[in-house]
Structure 1
Amino acid sequence: MASSPMASSTQSPRPNLAFRQLRGPRSPGEFAAAVRRAAREIGERVSCDARYVGRVEAGEIRCPNYAYERVFLHMFPGRTLADLGFAPRAQVRGRGARADAKAPPVPAVIRPHGPHRPSTTDRPSATDRSNTTDRSSTTNKPHTTIQLYESHPSGSDPRACDPYAIQTHEESDVQRRAFMTGSTAAVATASLAPIGLALGGPAEAAARRGRRIGEAEADAVEEAVRKIRLLDDRHGADGLYRRAAAPLRTAYTLLDAGTTRQSASDRLHACAGELAISVGWLAHDSGRFDDARSHYAEALATARVAGDPGLEAHAFCNTAFLARDAGRPREAVRAAQAGTHAARHGGSHRLLSLLALREAGGWAGLGDRVGCEQSLARAHALFQRGASDADPEWMSFYGPAELEGLEAQCWSALGDWERAARHARRAAATASAQTPQFTRNIALYTAELADDLARAGRPDEAATAGLRVLALLDEVQSSRIQSMLAATARVLLPHRRASGVGGFLERHGALPRAV
C-alpha cells in the first residue's frame, strides 16, 4: 500500500505536541523503526523515516494517510487520531477541507497533570449548548461537578477531533432542586439512586432538619463503592461510567457539608477517595484516559488532605496502570514507586506485590528487560507471603490469575510473545476455575491470550481464543477489551485462510461499532 503522507494544508503548521509526547525518549529514527515494525505486524508497508516523524511533529502532516492511520492505531490501541494530535480527515481534504479553509486549525490539547479545569476555550459555544445544561449556575462548589468527556465521530465538526470533548449533563428535576436548595442529604438521595442506592432513614431526617452529615451517609457512599466494583467485575466499564459519576459528585458534596464527628469525616474522606478511584477506573477501562487521570488526581488529593497512606497507595497504583496504558511508561515507574513508598508501613504484602507489578509494566514499556525482571521477581516473592488482614478490600481482584495476567502484559510489551501467551493462558484458566464471577477479567485475559498467540505466529489458536472473547461480549462492555480484539483482528487479517481465522474475522466484523 502506498505510504506517501497526505499533503498538508496551506495553513501555518502548529507543532503536534501529542505525537511528540508519545514518541517519548526515543529518537526520531528509533521511533520510525518502531513504526515500520508495527506496520509489518499488521501486513502494512510504510517507508517511515526520521524525516517523516519530524514532519508530523512539526505539524506539516495534519492527518496521515490510511496506511499510516492503521499503523498508528495499532501502535497505540485504544486511541484515536485525535489523541495522536491529528486533525479530522474532513478538515484536511475534500469538501470538508475547502469549507473549513478559513477556520483556524484545531491544536492538540495536552492535558496537564491533575484534575482537569476547563478553560474558556474548552467550553462549548452558545450554539453547541443547545442540547445541554450547564450546572455551574446552580452551584459554585467546583468539586460537586465532574466534567465528562464523550466520544464523537470525526468528520464534520472541528471539535470532533477530540474524543473527550467536554459535555455537561442535565440532571433530573429532583437533583437540580436538591442542588438549588443546598440540602446535601437530598442530593445524596437523588444521585446515589441510579446505582441502586438511596439514602433513607437518618439521611431523610437530616434533609428535614438540616443537620450535619454522619455515619449513615458514610455507609451509603461506602456501599456505592462496593456496588460499582461488583458491577464492573461482571460487566465492564462502558455502560457504567456515566451512572457512577452521580454518586461521586454526591460524595464530595457530602464532604463539603461537614460531619458530626471526626470518625465520620475520616470515613467519608476514605470512601470518597475510593469512589473517585473506582470511577477513574471505569473511565480508564472505557478509554477515557483524560477523565481517569482527573479522577485519580482527585483521589490522591483527598488522600493527602486526609493523611491516608492506604488511599494514597491505591491512587498511585491506579495512576501507574493508567500511565502505562497511555504510553507514559516512565511515569508508570515513578507512580508505582511512589505507591510503594506510601504502602511500606501498611503491612500488606499483596499490595506491595501489585505495586511491584505496576512498576514492572513501566519498565517493560521502556524496553528495560532487566528492570522488568527484577520487579517481577519482587512481585512474586511478596505474593508468596500470602494474604493478610492488612490487605485492602479493593484488592479482592488480585489473585493468582491477575498476577499471571499482568506478567503476560509485561512480556507482551517486551515482544516475547510465546512467554506472554503462556502466562495469559494460565491467567484465563485460573480465573475461569477460581473466580468465575469476574467475567470481565476472564474476557481480558483471553483477549490478551488471543493477541499474544496471533503475534507469536499461531493464528488458528488465536482465532479460537478470540471467539471465546466474542462469546463474552454480551455480558462485558469494555472498550479496552474491544480495542485488544480489534488489534488481534488486524494481525490475523493476512492469515484469513487459516483454520478458524475466517470465522473469527467474520464475527468480529459483525460487531456493532461504537458511535
Structure 2
Amino acid sequence: MQRRQFIRSAGTGLTAVGTSLLVGAPVPIGRRRQTKSDASTEIREMTQVFRRLDNRYGGGHSRSIVASYLRSSVAPLLQGAHQTGQSRSELFAAAAELHQLAGWMSYDTGQHADGHAHLRQALRLCHEADNDALASEMLAGMSHQAAFNGAPDSAVDLSLAAQHSAKRSGSKLLQAEAAVMEAHGLAMQGDKLGCLAALNRAEQAFNRADMEERPAWLAYFDHAYLAAKFAHAFRDLGLPREAEPFARRSLEMTDGYERGRLFNSALLASILADQRRIEEACALGSEATALARSVRSMRGTSYLQDLGKRLEPYQGVAIVGTLFEGMIEIGISPVG
C-alpha cells in the first residue's frame, strides 16, 4: 500500500495524526545429540507452528502444549548452556520468543500472572542474548497487558522502556510499536496532547520502517495492527468519530488472524455504539460473536462484554436484544 501524508481531523483540534494508516509441524527436540544452533532452529520452527494456531484459534487452543514443551524440551537446554558465543545467544533468543508466545497465550486466557511471568522470563533471556530488539518487543507486550488490565501508568512506563531498547536496536518498526503503546496509555490517562504527540511519532517511525525486514516474531505488526492501536487511543480519548476510520482500516488484515479480526470487529462496533449508530454496531457485534464461537480467547470475551456495556442503554431495541441473545448463547454475559 502506498503510504500517504497526514490529513487534518476537522472540528476537534486534532491535526496531522495517523492518516497514512487509512490507506505442517516440525518434530520436537528429542534426546539426540545436537548443537545449540540446531536447537534454536527447532525451537523457532515449533514457535511458528504454535503462533499460527494461537492467531487462528486463540490462546486457549495450545497453551498447555506450549507450557509442556517449554518445561520438557527447552528448559533443559537452557540449563546446559554455559558457554558463550553466537549459538548460545541464538538459543536464548529462540527460547525468549517461545516464552513470549506462552505469555500471550496465558494473557489471552485470563491467566495474567502466568502471562507476566513468561514475559519477564522472556525479557531476562533477551538480556542474556544481548538482543535489544527482542527486549523492546517484550516490554511493549508488557505495556499492552498493563493497558488491557486498566493500569495506564504502568503501560506508559513500560512503553518508555520499550522505546529505549527499540532505539538501541535501530528498528523503526519497534520504535513505532513502543510509541503507539505509549499513546494508548496516555489516552487512558486523559492526556490528549501527549497521546497525539506519541501517535505522531509512531506513524513517522512506521513510515520509515522497512517492512520486508520484519522478523517472524514481529510479522503481526502491520498497517492494520497499528490502525487498531490508533483506534483504541482515539476511542479512549472520547473521540469515536476520529477513531472510526482507523478501526475500519484495522479490519484490512491478512488471513490467519481470526482472533485479531474478532477483536477489531468488536472494537469498531464499540466505536459505532458510542456514536449511537446502533444498527451498524449490532451488525459488527454479530460478526464478532460468530468469530468467538471458534476462537478461545478471554480477551475476545472482554471485547464483547465491553460492547454489551456500551449498548446496554439500548437493550430494549429489538436488534440489540438479538445480539445479546447471541452472546448469551455462547456463554458471554453482555450486561451486569
TM-score range, shorter chain: 0.7 to 0.9
Larger RCO: Structure 1 or Structure 2 (Cα < 8 Å, ≥ 6 residues apart)? 2
CA deviation profile, 1:125-173 (whole Å, cap 9, x unmatched)? xxxxxxxxxxxxxxxxxxxxxxxxxxxxxxxxxxxxxxxxxxxxxxxxx
Amino acid at match of 1:238: G
**For residue 102 of structure 1, what is the aligned residue in structure 2?**
none
**For residue 217 of structure 1, what is the aligned residue in structure 2?**
39
**For residue 202 of structure 2, what is the aligned residue in structure 1?**
379
**For residue 489 of structure 1, what is the aligned residue in structure 2?**
308
Post-superposition offset of 1:281? 0.9
CA distance in 2: counterparts of 1:235 and 1:387, whole angstroms? 29
Post-superposition offset of 1:271? 0.6
**For residue 322 of structure 2, what is the aligned residue in structure 1?**
503
CA distance in 1: counterparts of 2:332 and 2:319, whole angstroms? 23
Post-superposition offset of 1:487? 2.2
Post-superposition offset of 1:390? 4.6
> Is the contact between residue 54 and residue 61 of structure 2 (CA under 8 Å) also seen in structure 1?
no
Amino acid at match of 2:49: K
Out of 39, 47, 63, the residue aligned to residue 241 of structure 1 is 63
> Is the contact between residue 333 and residue 358 of structure 1 (CA under 8 Å) also seen in structure 2?
yes
Out of 29, 32, 38, the residue aligned to residue 205 of structure 1 is 32
Is the counterpart of residue 394 in structure 1 residue 213 in structure 2? no
State TM-score, norm by structure 2.
0.85
Out of 90, 105, 111, the residue aligned to residue 267 of structure 1 is 90
CA deviation profile, 1:155-205 (whole Å, cap 9, x unmatched)? xxxxxxxxxxxxxxxxxxxxxxxxxxxxxxxxxxxxxxxx955346xx443
Q: Decide which structure has the larger Cα Rg and report it.
A: 1
CA distance in 2: counterparts of 1:258 and 1:497, whole angstroms? 63
CA distance in 2: counterparts of 1:215 and 1:404, whole angstroms? 37
Out of 95, 110, 120, the residue aligned to residue 287 of structure 1 is 110
Amino acid at match of 2:44: E
SS at match of 1:477: coil
CA deviation profile, 1:255-280 (whole Å, cap 9, x unmatched)? 10237873321111001111111111
> Is the contact between residue 336 and residue 356 of structure 1 (CA under 8 Å) also seen in structure 2?
yes
Out of 433, 441, 445, the residue aligned to residue 260 of structure 2 is 441
**For residue 11 of structure 2, what is the aligned residue in structure 1?**
none
> What are the within-5 Å matches in structure 2 for residues 307-326 of structure 1?
307-326=130-149
**For residue 148 of structure 1, what is the aligned residue in structure 2?**
none
Post-superposition offset of 1:322? 1.0
**For residue 296 of structure 2, what is the aligned residue in structure 1?**
477
**For residue 85 of structure 1, what is the aligned residue in structure 2?**
none
> Is the contact between residue 28 and residue 46 of structure 2 (CA under 8 Å) also seen in structure 1?
no
Amino acid at match of 2:70: L
259-268 or 395-404: bigger deviation: 259-268
CA deviation profile, 1:362-417 (whole Å, cap 9, x unmatched)? 11111111110000011111111242555332111111111110111111222222
> Is the contact between residue 372 and residue 410 of structure 1 (CA under 8 Å) also seen in structure 2?
yes
CA distance in 2: counterparts of 1:492 and 1:204, whole angstroms? 55
**For residue 298 of structure 1, what is the aligned residue in structure 2?**
121
SS at match of 1:472: helix
CA distance in 2: counterparts of 1:481 and 1:222, whole angstroms? 27
Is the counterpart of residue 451 in structure 1 residue 279 in structure 2? no
> Is the contact between residue 269 and residue 280 of structure 2 (CA under 8 Å) also seen in structure 1?
yes
CA distance in 1: counterparts of 2:61 and 2:256, whole angstroms? 18
> Is the contact between residue 460 and residue 499 of structure 1 (CA under 8 Å) also seen in structure 2?
no
CA deviation profile, 1:424-454 (whole Å, cap 9, x unmatched)? 12212x12xxx02211111110011111222
> Is the contact between residue 92 and residue 126 of structure 2 (CA under 8 Å) also seen in structure 1?
yes
SS at match of 2:306: helix
**For residue 422 of structure 1, what is the aligned residue in structure 2?**
245
> What are the within-5 Å matches in structure 2 for residues 88-127 of structure 1?
none
> Is the contact between residue 92 and residue 125 of structure 2 (CA under 8 Å) also seen in structure 1?
yes
Out of 151, 158, 171, the residue aligned to residue 348 of structure 1 is 171
Once the two structures are aligned, what percentage of the paired residues are identical?
A: 28
After superposition, the Cα gap between the structure-2 partners of 1:369 and 1:393, relative to the gap in structure 1 and judged at 3 Å, is same
Amino acid at match of 1:198: V
Post-superposition offset of 1:498? 3.0
The aligned length equals 309
CA distance in 2: counterparts of 1:436 and 1:505, whole angstroms? 28
Amino acid at match of 1:302: L
Post-superposition offset of 1:227? 1.3
> What are the within-5 Å matches in structure 2 for residues 189-200 of structure 1?
197-199=26-28
CA deviation profile, 1:306-328 (whole Å, cap 9, x unmatched)? 22212211111111111111222
Amino acid at match of 1:254: L
> Is the contact between residue 329 and residue 366 of structure 1 (CA under 8 Å) also seen in structure 2?
yes
SS at match of 2:219: helix
CA distance in 2: counterparts of 1:513 and 1:454, whole angstroms? 18
CA distance in 2: counterparts of 1:306 and 1:357, whole angstroms? 26
Structure 1: where are the runs of 5+ without partners? 1-194, 207-211
314-323 or 486-495: bigger deviation: 486-495
CA distance in 1: counterparts of 2:168 and 2:81, whole angstroms? 30
Amino acid at match of 2:27: A
Post-superposition offset of 1:494? 3.1
CA distance in 1: counterparts of 2:211 and 2:268, whole angstroms? 31
SS at match of 1:397: coil
Post-superposition offset of 1:513? 5.6
Post-superposition offset of 1:247? 2.1
CA RMSD of aligned residues (A): 2.2
> Is the contact between residue 57 and residue 259 of structure 2 (CA under 8 Å) also seen in structure 1?
yes
Amino acid at match of 2:69: P
Structure 2: where are the runs of 5+ without partners? 1-23
Tell me which stretches of 4 or more aligned residues in structure 1 moved more than 6 Å. Answer: none
**For residue 228 of structure 2, what is the aligned residue in structure 1?**
405
CA distance in 1: counterparts of 2:165 and 2:198, whole angstroms? 17
CA distance in 1: counterparts of 2:332 and 2:211, whole angstroms? 44
